[in-house]
With several copies, the nearest count.
Chain A
Amino acid sequence: MRTWITDEPIDVSDVLSSVGSDADGAALLFLGTVREQNEGRPVQGMRYDAYAGMAASVLSEIAGEAGERAGTDRISVVHRTGELQIGDVSVAIAVSSPHRAEAFDAARYVIEQIKLRLPVWKHEHYTDGSAEWLDGATPPAPAAESAAVPAPGTVKP
Chain B
Amino acid sequence: MRIQLLLFALYRDLTGVSELDVQVPDGATAGVALADLRARDARFGRLPERPVIAINREYALLDAPLADGDELALLPPVAGG
Contact = CB atoms under 8 A, between A and B. Distances in A.
A and B directly contacting (CB within 8 A): yes
Interface of A: 32, 49-51, 53-55, 57, 79, 90-91, 100, 111, 114-123, 133-139, 141-142, 144-145
B61 A79 contact: no
Given A119-B75, A121-B79, A141 B57 contact: no
Contacts of A54: 54, 57-58, 73
Contacts of B75: 51, 119, 139
9 contacts: A111-B81, A115-B78, A118-B81, A119-B73, A133-B13, A136-B76, A137-B77, A145-B61, A145-B64
A129 B58 CA distance: 35
Interface of B: 6, 8-10, 13, 52, 54, 57-61, 63-65, 73, 75-81
Contact of A139 (B6, B13, B57, B59): B59
A47 B41 CA distance: 29
Contacts of A135: 77, 79
Nearest to A26: B81
B19 to A, nearest CB: 11
Given A51-B75, A53-B57, A114 B80 contact: yes
A30 B67 CA distance: 40
A121 B54 contact: no
A133 B6 contact: no
Contacts of B79: 115, 120-122, 133-137
A118 B80 contact: yes
A139 B9 contact: no
Interface pairs A-B: 8 shortest CB-CB: A136-B77, A118-B80, A121-B9, A136-B79, A120-B80, A54-B57, A114-B80, A115-B81
